[in-house]
Structure 1
Amino acid sequence: MIPQSFNDNWQFFKDPAAARAAAMGGPQPPCITLPHDAMVHEPRTPDTPSGAQTGFYPGGQYIYQKRFFAPADWKGCTVALEFEGVYQTAQVYLNGTLAASSVNGYTNFYADLSTDLLYGAENRIKVLADNSAVPNSRWYSGSGLYRGVRLWVGGPIHLPAEGVQVTTLSADGDYALVEVAAAVKSSAVTPRTVQVCVSLGGETGRAPVTVFPGQFETVRQTLAIPAPKLWDCDHPNLYDCTVTVEDGGQVLDRAALRVGLRTLTLDARRGLRLNGKAVKLRGACIHHDNGILGAATWPDAERRRCRQLKEAGFNALRSAHHPMSREMLEACDELGMLVMDEVSDVWTVHKNPHDAASHFAQSWPEILDRMAAKDYNHPCVVLYSIGNEITEVASPRGCQLGRAMTEHLHRLDPTRYTTNGINGLMAASFGGQIVPMMKELLSAPGKTGADGAGSNAFNGMMGLMAGETGDRFAAHPTLTALLDEPSHTVDVIGLNYLTGRHLLEQELHPNKTVVGTETFPADIARLWGLVKRHPHLLGDFTWAGYDYLGEAGCGIFHYDGAANFSSVYPERTASIGDLDLLGGRRPISYLREIVFGLRKAPYIAVERVDRYGQTPSRTPWMLKDNLASWTWPGFEGQPANVDVYSDADEVELLVNGRSAGRQPAGEEHGFTASFSIPYEPGELTAISYTDGQETGRHTLHTAGASAALTPEVERGGELTFVTLRLTDREGLPNLSDTRTVTVEVQDGTLLGFGSANPCSEDPYDGTVCPTYQGTVMAVFRGSGHARFTAEGLPPLELDF
């Protein structure tokens, strides 16, 4: 079967009475197009039960309705709707009768419509999306039908949804040996013999199969593809694969998919190898939201986010902490991004009162089935993570469940490897060992910076995992004993914030590989040095690659005495990504690119001159409160701390052509040269030298007064992203200025309008927004015209 979009012409209701009235012919609301995140349109309040975890967005109950006609030729066919993601629980009704339900908001599920209830005339689909039981997820979840819906229609003899699996058995420069397995299902009344035809890379195959009523058969065919163009991160080559079911020359059903041919191997001596070549995972953890669009999974937004992360030097993404969207997987296939797809943030022990632990013990096999079926044909997926910071991971029952999940995944997909993001603090706490360990490691108790309970308190305690104390904890014999069995339940040992164990694991488990499933951003220089030198270390996944909604305050620098992880309204974002909420690269992103060896030019980062001498709150996820800006009006002559990131031997800093001296840089100095100079408007230039020879330079200029809104337009297939920057008369961006921008739209749809400000109270579905660091962004759907205005600046007219 080939799916059809079912995303248009939905009605959305928050009021059940209005939904009932509309169903009876009463007032009809405007139709919406999926995906639709209901949560991002809710008003935020300081007393929201989930607090900072969801960025002070509340949950709720929502109703989606759609009418459609079932053609007469559907009679006797298999008809199903695939819901790619409904948060949190879902009930799907066909003409008033329950057709499907789901308790997991992050996995796809199917509603079978192949019943007598599918009338020959108009039909009504109603979906109840219930996210009222809060708090549940520890981050911004979104609500409602935040991912798309697809319609599948197949005849009496058909290929079921996700019924074709393509496996690269072997590959070299001459041939790739590819197996195409196709499931053929029958709802016919008599046995039938049909032909299953396969086409891939110019090669074809054909095999007969007899299918019996109510059963299905799997047909496997092997094709030898000559001179294959293999898929990898630098050359993400994809092939079209077509499978048809034919009878007497008539095509009964057809499936079409895009696949990549590649091989994957793993061992502790050579690490992870893609097509026989070693690859290190330059990884980023990401949540599922798309910033000012909320959790709505627009394909263009997923592709844009993937592309921006790839351009920033990453080659791998970890889906935290739930299965990745199909749209992001397709983007990773096309752009050459490896994927660690993750199952869940919890197993059977709650982190929040209404999280997935309520049903995970019963639902995990189905969740794994759906994830593996979704991922199988995506060459980007190389690792399955069975969990994140699982509380009971080191308990006997936890180890039993971990083994069961790994074995289940290996049966579903023997071509990929499993891991588990193990948090030592969590494991030791559940094991009752944390108090004696902390008494031993700490001479005196310290303030964690976390108030309240639950996940906020735990995140605050994570400050203990940084620095020397964290390394001593990571290598503690008690922790080693606790983690021995869970380390053997997966193929790759995944460690969250346990850099001090990365080399120790080689001694303890010499035949195992290790990956940093979650690491502090500031640890990248030390950690990547280990990764480069030790084959058993597969790579690193920083927390986090892209900023996200919820877990608000993780990386916000407070200068007023407020503490991180203490639910400070109106904080909305974590403010911790290498890339901010709009996709702008923060200085840490350029440091990471230099550490990875992907950038030779130096990069200048200036600590906020207007905050000089002030002490902010800190968490171990934060590096420095700095910007690539040399525009600080009113602070002339005041001290300025300037860092220059570089892999060179040394760096020279020039202020308006005058040397401020040279400082050592490179790996031995954390790839950072630091200077303290008076702020002086003009030109700031960093020049890097190795062996006395210049290797690159980076320059910042002081911007003048803002004179224009300068747009950067990114057009996708359906969406247009317009980033507006305040610039002076020379076109230089002015990050120090703030102007309130208003947008007016003719035709088309404004999907989101906002900034990267982590503390803004402006709604993302409004038409007015102040700039933050001189920038705002608007996202449009369809074609139309927009007019942007800001006080004191000429208006900007733009077609999209």
Structure 2
Amino acid sequence: MLKSNFNQNWKFVKGCIPSLMTLKMYGKEADDISLPHDAMIHETPCETTKNGGATGFYPGGIYTYFKTFVAPEEWKDKTVTLEFEGVYEKAMVYLNGALITTNSYGYSNFYASLDRYLQYGQENELKVVADNSAEQNSRWYTGSGIYRNVNLFVGELIQIPVDGVHATTINVEKDFAVVEFVTTVVNQTRKKEKLQVQIEMSDEDGNVIRGVTHLTAFGNSENQIRQEIVIKNPKLWNCDTPHLYKCQVSIFSEKKVWDTNEFLYGIRRITLDSVYGLRINGESVKLRGTCVHHDNGILGAATYREAEYRKCKLLKQAGFNSVRSAHHPAAKDFLDACDKYGILVMDELCDMWTIHKNDHDYAFSFLNEWKNIVDKMIQKDYNHPSVIMYSIGNEIQEVGTERGAEINRTICNYIKEKDRTRYTTNGINGLNAAGAKMYPIMQDLAPLFKKDAENSETNDSSGSNAINSFMQLMEGEVGDAFAKHPLMTEVLQESCEAMDIIGLNYLTGRHLLDTELYPNKCVLGTETFPADIARLWSVVKKSNQVLGDFTWSGYDYLGEAGCGIFYYDEKTNFGSYFPDRLAYIGDIDLTGYRRPISYLREIVYGMRKEPYIAVERVDRSGMKHSKTPWMLKDNIASWTWEGYEGKSAMVDVYSADEEVELFINGKSLGKKPAGEKVGYVSTFECKYEPGEVTAISYNQGKESSSCQLKTAGTARGVKVDVSQEVMIKGTEELVFIQLSLVDKDGLEVLTEEKEIKVVAEGNVQILAVGNADPQTTTSYDSHCWKTYHGKLLLVAKAGELLGESVIHIVMDDNIIKDVSIKVIDSESSF
């Protein structure tokens, strides 16, 4: 079918409106927008919203989208279908006043046939109502409205349906590979037709491989055609060299070409066993993974292609080779980006089954809908080489019960019926799964709790202490004892046996135990503490059965506000404190800046040789703050602390070498052990004095490498990092402009705060501006922002006119930088 973009020329109204004609009756005016569009990010955060910190205090609502278009007369003998890649939360789609479809799961793509109610040769009114008014329905920021792409498919009556081609690599040898194509061909005419189905695969060098199969398609029939294509000396897809072939599947007769389906495909074979673990094309791979939510930071949940590609590129540069889509099916654009950059994907079904985590979540519908959302997820994912496994749930509360084990087994088996090429797992959290067994487990662990309390610096009964007691069950000696408890083994047994990979959230103590209990299975840390990476990776390296680790989280996100904020005012994490907006828990912050823990992780992975210096905030030296296992330290890579000369400074050096030595202005503070034996972190206490701090690492007494921080001066300008300088008019193409404060010598200034105003001149629209401050009160629609850690991000989009445009960067009432963007023309589709 002919696919075209349907994102342009929509109208948007807050509330549920019958039609465009009745707008004035409701006292409303429609906004002209293009998709994708997140209505929630344009709302004003509200302290009283029931969503609270879960969505960063953004409220929900009901929103109506309209689009008018003329259906050409030639469509009369064709099929016309719309694909909605994502509408949150509940969607109702109308054409010319008639309801044509609904969708209740906001993360699934769905299709709407327009054929029955189309008016040919005249104007049609399409209406979509997006209802996200039921608060709360999620534990994180969801966005609202049509936040992903809408695509139009126009097809002949003899056609390949949408998602009608499945490609599978069935063999990979040293000098050849075999790919099987299963193509569905539908003949909706009453006549028999003699057809040919042709496969073309072309690599990056233009080499083409073809195969043709003949088909007699009787009237009103549906046929499946299986074809094998042999590729000699194939370019294989893996994390390091993610080669992609362009595949074109065509059906034609003597009279015409009826349909063509095109997609990119990576040739790769994945295998899993308890001897070698996970292998891609015969090579063992450890999963250096992260969990990621679906929002795009200052853009909200709007799924722009460039935003998804940028996110994946930054994750790959930070050392990750795999992602878990938490906790819902990933967007198509995100999977395309993972294919391109060689990032492996665990695509996840949902966050709950039959027991609510929020009053209005999907638990009410799950039993009736799970097959539908599984089918949609598999159809979406099937041709993506990046997708290697499906997670059927996250921290499901009933998974440790007999009924939960039955549901777990049923879903795993159903997935295997639909897709034999990938593996199943489930992110099991012991605190959720223990259920009625929790009380006897706690009784057995009481002596360990008492021991920890005696060793604790405080012994109060405050909320903070209660939170810390809860966290003890997920870390340290108590956490390991909890994870390994025989009753925990008992409640998890049946569910663990049903899935291909035993997925464990915050149960590190079980990883090696489960390799003994289930010698034929592999184990995976599906969600783990970022601050525990050194210990976690040592466990991963001990056994081939332990496949890897997925940290929470590699990229900061909206909602779940405050779980990683360092509170210095006696607040506790996982509360709901306005105006907290971000989780503040990512290796990479909301602007794309890598925080120190990201470099520690890269060193632990063995991917960075040079040491790295991180300084605990000197302006908060000695102050007590909140702390959870998700938080490492409140530190940044800065040796600029004006006004704090002589104050105590804690300097961490991250290194994989045997020893590190720290110098301040050339004076040595001595050597300390480094590397795996000390968790890759060596800490030096000193007095802050401006100048230079240098770390040198040693192996066998010989200098290995070094790292240095210098004191910066006053911020005088900005360094600009532009993702691209040319855009195509009228598209969803974006340019990301990252600003960093610098002094007169070009040194970055992380500890100074400056207000920056962004002014667009010409044919460029500023979509969003923002920083990584987790407690900001400024709207991302504002063009005037303060820097945070010296950084600011702005995102712009091309308009409808050609030519040069300029974005002025204004600081201290002066234009300090101009960013030029060129808008060019290109052929556009409907």
Q: Same fold (TM over 0.5)?
A: yes
Corresponding residue for residue 9 of structure 1? 9
Is the aligned partner of 1:666 residue 2:675? yes
State TM-score, norm by structure 2: 0.93
Deviations 1:158-211 (A, max 9, x none): 000000011111012211111111100121122323111111142211112223
Deviations 1:588-636 (A, max 9, x none): 0000000000000000000011111111011110000000000000011
Is the aligned partner of 1:682 residue 2:697? no
Corresponding residue to 2:807 among 767, 770, 786:
786
Q: Secondary structure of 1:442's match?
A: helix
Corresponding residue for residue 91 of structure 2? 90
Corresponding residue for residue 769 of structure 2? 753
| Cα distance change of structure 1 residues 439 and 137 upon mapping to structure 2, 3 Å threshold | same
Aligned equivalents of 1:17 and 1:413: distance in 2? 42
**What amino acid is the match of 1:82?**
E
Do the aligned partners of 1:284 and 1:543 also contact (CA within 8 Å) in 2? yes
**What amino acid is the match of 1:6?**
F
Matched length: 796
Is the aligned partner of 1:607 residue 2:616? yes
Corresponding residue to 1:461 among 470, 478, 483:
470
Corresponding residue to 2:626 among 617, 636, 644:
617
Shift of the alpha carbon at 1:748? 1.5
Aligned equivalents of 1:142 and 1:681: distance in 2? 45
Corresponding residue for residue 824 of structure 2? none
Is the aligned partner of 1:763 residue 2:763? no
Corresponding residue for residue 122 of structure 2? 121
Corresponding residue for residue 707 of structure 1? 716
Corresponding residue for residue 277 of structure 1? 283
Aligned pairs for 1:144-543 within 5 A? 144-201=145-202, 202-248=208-254, 250-429=256-435, 433=439, 435-436=442-443, 439=446, 441-443=448-450, 461-543=470-552
Q: Secondary structure of 2:174's match?
A: coil
Aligned equivalents of 2:468 and 2:325: distance in 1? 19
Moved more, 751-760 or 738-747: 738-747
Aligned equivalents of 1:244 and 1:641: distance in 2? 64
Aligned equivalents of 2:765 and 2:446: distance in 1? 58
| Cα distance change of structure 1 residues 69 and 719 upon mapping to structure 2, 3 Å threshold | same
Aligned pairs for 1:588-599 within 5 A? 588-599=597-608
Do the aligned partners of 1:450 and 1:566 also contact (CA within 8 Å) in 2? no
RMSD between aligned alpha carbons? 2.0
Corresponding residue to 2:818 among 787, 790, 797:
797
Moved more, 508-517 or 716-725: 716-725
Gaps of 5+ in 2: 203-207, 454-458, 728-732, 800-804, 822-830
Do the aligned partners of 2:657 and 2:698 also contact (CA within 8 Å) in 1? yes
Do the aligned partners of 2:45 and 2:57 also contact (CA within 8 Å) in 1? yes
Corresponding residue for residue 754 of structure 2? 739
Aligned equivalents of 1:430 and 1:12: distance in 2? 49
Shift of the alpha carbon at 1:249? 5.1
Do the aligned partners of 1:460 and 1:565 also contact (CA within 8 Å) in 2? no
Aligned equivalents of 1:464 and 1:477: distance in 2? 15
Aligned equivalents of 2:750 and 2:665: distance in 1? 20
Moved more, 512-521 or 787-796: 787-796
Corresponding residue for residue 725 of structure 1? 740
Shift of the alpha carbon at 1:509? 0.6
| Cα distance change of structure 1 residues 472 and 70 upon mapping to structure 2, 3 Å threshold | same
Do the aligned partners of 1:707 and 1:793 also contact (CA within 8 Å) in 2? no
Deviations 1:403-458 (A, max 9, x none): 1111111111100000000000111136554654554652388889869xxxxx99
Shift of the alpha carbon at 1:27? 8.2
| Cα distance change of structure 1 residues 100 and 650 upon mapping to structure 2, 3 Å threshold | same
| Cα distance change of structure 1 residues 405 and 17 upon mapping to structure 2, 3 Å threshold | closer
Do the aligned partners of 1:463 and 1:619 also contact (CA within 8 Å) in 2? no
Shift of the alpha carbon at 1:213? 3.5
**What amino acid is the match of 2:99?**
L
Do the aligned partners of 1:546 and 1:581 also contact (CA within 8 Å) in 2? yes
Deviations 1:329-383 (A, max 9, x none): 0000001100000000001100000111111111100101000000000000011
Q: Secondary structure of 2:473's match?
A: helix
Do the aligned partners of 1:708 and 1:794 also contact (CA within 8 Å) in 2? no
Do the aligned partners of 2:209 and 2:231 also contact (CA within 8 Å) in 1? yes
Corresponding residue for residue 730 of structure 2? none
Do the aligned partners of 1:188 and 1:214 also contact (CA within 8 Å) in 2? yes
Is the aligned partner of 1:55 residue 2:56? yes
Q: Secondary structure of 2:450's match?
A: coil
Moved more, 572-581 or 734-743: 734-743
Corresponding residue for residue 454 of structure 1? none
Aligned equivalents of 1:798 and 1:177: distance in 2? 49
Do the aligned partners of 1:463 and 1:620 also contact (CA within 8 Å) in 2? no
Shift of the alpha carbon at 1:572? 0.2
Aligned equivalents of 1:493 and 1:448: distance in 2? 37
Do the aligned partners of 2:532 and 2:629 also contact (CA within 8 Å) in 1? no
Shift of the alpha carbon at 1:751? 1.0
Corresponding residue for residue 826 of structure 2? none
Do the aligned partners of 2:108 and 2:376 also contact (CA within 8 Å) in 1? yes
**What amino acid is the match of 1:193?**
K
Shift of the alpha carbon at 1:23? 6.5
| Cα distance change of structure 1 residues 157 and 17 upon mapping to structure 2, 3 Å threshold | closer
Aligned equivalents of 1:111 and 1:277: distance in 2? 43
Aligned equivalents of 1:315 and 1:44: distance in 2? 35
Aligned equivalents of 2:18 and 2:91: distance in 1? 19
Do the aligned partners of 1:449 and 1:564 also contact (CA within 8 Å) in 2? no
| Cα distance change of structure 1 residues 712 and 238 upon mapping to structure 2, 3 Å threshold | same
Shift of the alpha carbon at 1:797? 2.0
Moved more, 579-588 or 710-719: 710-719
Deviations 1:666-721 (A, max 9, x none): 10010111100110101111010001121111100100011112211112861111
**What amino acid is the match of 1:187?**
Q
Q: Secondary structure of 2:669's match?
A: strand
Q: Secondary structure of 1:524's match?
A: helix
Q: Secondary structure of 2:263's match?
A: strand
Shift of the alpha carbon at 1:117? 3.6
**What amino acid is the match of 2:11?**
Q
State TM-score, norm by structure 1: 0.97
**What amino acid is the match of 1:398?**
G
Q: Secondary structure of 1:349's match?
A: coil
Aligned equivalents of 1:704 and 1:762: distance in 2? 27
Aligned equivalents of 1:638 and 1:72: distance in 2? 78
**What amino acid is the match of 1:487?**
C
Do the aligned partners of 1:448 and 1:463 also contact (CA within 8 Å) in 2? no
Do the aligned partners of 2:13 and 2:28 also contact (CA within 8 Å) in 1? no
Q: Secondary structure of 2:769's match?
A: strand
Aligned pairs for 1:549-560 within 5 A? 549-560=558-569
Deviations 1:134-174 (A, max 9, x none): 10110000000000100111111000000001111101221
Deviations 1:6-57 (A, max 9, x none): 0001100004459544668998634211100000000111111110000000
Aligned equivalents of 1:308 and 1:87: distance in 2? 26
Query: How many percent of aligned residue pairs carry the same amino acid?
Result: 50
| Cα distance change of structure 1 residues 537 and 604 upon mapping to structure 2, 3 Å threshold | same
Do the aligned partners of 2:475 and 2:629 also contact (CA within 8 Å) in 1? yes
**What amino acid is the match of 2:753?**
T
Moved more, 420-429 or 70-79: 70-79
Aligned equivalents of 1:149 and 1:461: distance in 2? 44
Gaps of 5+ in 1: 452-456
